[in-house]
């Protein structure tokens, strides 16, 4: 019997390092550095740390470095390469020393790695828009994908002038640190659009998009010095001017995202959105509403957590003409699927009915930054008090951050003004009256929700719980938020989850379909 080839892909990035392992036909595992090292948005700071992450991934699959047939990944900030070669305009091949062996390394451009999620979209052709804060010299790029080919399109002026750095700079300015985009988006729901802010953003757009907070060669203070002219009291988030600043920045970002797609609308009915900006669910929703694209695909790891997987997809499609099977989104560390028996489901439903919060830690972790049902905190959505319990008391998050609903797809139309399937929690939707009446905990202050809808083929465990919950309560919705404390990575192991809720009696823990008794 022929031995399978093993492909390992890794990406350092400027944050969110990761490793992906595949064989000849399947992606087997994706490991994010933050989950392993327990540091949010972790960058592997050395070749030693990356080798640790690779060895951990291989050990999970009962492999070692000698089993690897091919090595690939991204060049950007790749510490196995000399500094003057840590960039790549398309693809390059290098010899690198890893685990004291010289191997051939197939390097893929940062945005091309993002764009390669086209291969999993199911589209015959598509416009692919990658927008984030940096990577290999570009920040906003448009490609055309057809069949096995991905090609760069001539960049419209708006693509050259605007990019994801804008959101990085305005959000990090308010909070004084990077990685605060989610907070900033939640805060925007409380503000009013201010024309003075919009005019300011338009006048200074180029400077605000010039340097990325995450760019190791950048300086966000260029934009911050300009923003100081607005004289915001950043120490008081409840100050109405700060909230209106957030709302206006969000609106400006949405308008520019829509504008950037207008030159490409007639080239395909299909759109793939990737890069960190594709995590902005409000902008995604406005793109869906206000462009001509009929179908939009966004992978669950559209941000830099997907870089090693994207590079692997490009490598296998273009080197071997193999489009590997990727069973999104549950490709992380954990046990394979186990059968969830009726007794377990009854226990979960009983806990939820008694206003317990359920820490559902099941199977392989989901990839990307959203908890999609395997590392989730679940709770009944009937009261605002339950949202406060989950989000503010247990997770220690700010009051203005919403929690998401998970709903049976077949019941979605009764509760939300959204037509399409949304399994990865990457779109926002208006809430209907039935949602406001029966599930107020998942309704944000602006009457929106970050929607996750699931069908029976998404995942048997979380679907079974949600179906049973509906049968008992007639409400097809639960609160679903990530199983982690504020500022911490999503829990990876049993030990992570036990440490997180050790002293919280309001939380019931379930590990792979069995209640944990403490």
* The pLDDT of residue 221: 66
Q: Minimal CA–CA distance to 222: which of 169, 179, 163?
A: 169
* The pLDDT of residue 366: 97
Q: Minimal CA–CA distance to 77: which of 46, 99, 112, 117?
A: 46
Q: How far apart are CA 230 and CA 63, in angstroms?
A: 56
* The pLDDT of residue 237: 81
Q: In degrees rounded to 5, what are phi and psi of residue 199?
A: -65, -40
Strand partners, 482: 376
**pLDDT truncated to tens, each residue of the chain (518 aa)?**
568 999 999 999 999 999 999 999 999 999 999 999 999 999 999 999 999 999 999 999 999 999 999 999 999 999 999 999 999 999 999 999 999 999 999 999 999 999 999 999 999 999 999 999 888 888 999 999 999 999 999 999 999 999 999 999 999 999 988 889 999 999 999 999 999 999 999 999 988 998 644 444 455 567 788 898 888 988 888 889 999 999 999 999 999 999 999 999 999 999 999 999 999 999 999 999 999 999 999 999 999 999 999 999 999 999 999 999 999 999 999 988 777 899 999 999 999 999 999 999 999 999 999 999 999 999 999 999 999 999 999 999 999 999 999 999 999 999 999 999 999 999 999 999 999 999 999 999 999 999 999 999 999 999 999 999 999 999 999 999 999 988 899 999 999 999 998 878 899 999 999 999 87
Q: How far apart are CA 74 and CA 17, in angstroms?
A: 10
In Å, how far from its chain's centre is CA 416? 22
Q: Minimal CA–CA distance to 160: which of 144, 188, 139?
A: 139
Q: How far apart are CA 152 and CA 143, in angstroms?
A: 4
Q: In the sheet that 427-430 helps form, which strands lie side by side, from edge to edge?
A: 427-430, 448-454, 404-408, 477-482, 375-379, 357-361, 507-511, 514-515
Q: What 3-state DSSP class applies to 28?
A: strand
Mean pLDDT for all residues in the chain: 94
Task: Report the share of the chain in percent with pLDDT over 90.
Answer: 87
Hey, what are 228's tokens?
């100081």
Write down the residue that tokens 């939009």 correspond to.
296
Cβ neighbors of 205 (< 8 A, separation 6 or more) are 161, 162, 166, 256
Query: Domains in the chain, please, with CATH?
Result: 7-108+305-319 (3.30.420), 119-293 (3.30.420.40), 342-515 (3.90.870.20)
Q: How far apart are CA 68 and CA 219, in angstroms?
A: 39
């Amino acid at each position: 019997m022929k031995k399978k080839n093993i492909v390992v892909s890794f990406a350092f990035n400027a944050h969110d390092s990761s490793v992906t392992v595949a064989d000849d036909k399947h992606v087997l595992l994706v490991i994010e550095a933050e989950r392993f090292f327990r540091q949010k948005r972790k960058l592997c700071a050395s070749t030693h740390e990356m080798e640790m992450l690779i060895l951990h991934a291989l050990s999970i699959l009962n492999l070692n470095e000698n089993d690897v047939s091919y090595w690939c990944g991204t060049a950007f900030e790749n510490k196995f390469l000399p500094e003057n070669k840590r960039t790549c305009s398309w693809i390059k091949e290098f010899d690198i020393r890893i685990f004291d062996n010289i191997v051939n390394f197939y390097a893929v451009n940062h945005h091309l790695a993002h764009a390669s999620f086209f291969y999993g979209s199911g589209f015959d052709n598509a416009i692919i828009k990658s927008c984030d804060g940096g990577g290999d010299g570009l920040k906003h790029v448009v490609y055309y994908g057809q069949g096995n080919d991905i090609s760069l399109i001539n960049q419209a002026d708006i693509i050259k002038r605007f990019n994801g750095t804008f959101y990085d700079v305005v959000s990090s300015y308010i909070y004084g640190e990077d990685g605060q985009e989610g907070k900033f988006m939640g805060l925007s729901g409380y503000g009013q659009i201010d024309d003075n802010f919009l005019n300011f953003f338009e006048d200074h757009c180029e400077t605000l998009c010039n340097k990325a907070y995450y760019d190791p060669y950048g300086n966000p203070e260029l934009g911050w010095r300009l923003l100081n002219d607005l004289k915001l009291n950043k120490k008081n988030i409840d100050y109405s001017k700060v909230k209106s600043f957030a709302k206006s920045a969000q609106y400006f970002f949405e308008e520019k995202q829509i504008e950037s797609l207008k030159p490409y609308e007639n080239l395909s009915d299909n759109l793939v959105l990737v890069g960190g900006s594709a995590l902005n669910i409000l902008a995604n929703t406005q793109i869906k509403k206000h462009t001509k694209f009929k179908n939009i695909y966004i992978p669950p790891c559209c941000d830099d957590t997907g870089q090693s997987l994207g590079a692997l997809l490009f490598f296998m499609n273009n080197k071997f003409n193999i489009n590997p099977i990727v069973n999104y989104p549950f490709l992380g560390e954990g046990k394979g699927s186990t059968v969830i028996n009726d007794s377990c489901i009854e226990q979960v439903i009983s806990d939820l009915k008694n206003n317990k919060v359920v820490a559902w830690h099941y199977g392989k972790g989901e990839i990307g930054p959203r908890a999609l049902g395997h590392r989730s905190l679940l709770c009944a959505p009937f009261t605002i008090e339950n949202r406060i319990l989950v989000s503010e008391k247990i997770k220690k998050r700010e009051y203005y951050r919403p929690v998401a609903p998970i709903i049976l797809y077949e019941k979605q139309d009764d509760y939300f003004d959204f037509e399409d399937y949304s399994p990865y929690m990457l779109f926002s939707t208006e809430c209907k009256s039935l949602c406001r009446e029966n599930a107020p905990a998942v309704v944000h202050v602006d009457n929106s929700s970050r929607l996750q809808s699931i069908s029976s083929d998404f995942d048997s465990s979380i679907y079974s719980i949600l179906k049973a919950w509906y049968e008992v309560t007639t409400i097809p919705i639960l609160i679903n938020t990530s199983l982690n404390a504020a500022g911490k990575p999503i829990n990876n192991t049993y030990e992570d989850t036990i440490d997180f809720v050790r002293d919280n009696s309001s939380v019931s823990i379930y590990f792979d379909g069995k209640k944990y008794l403490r």
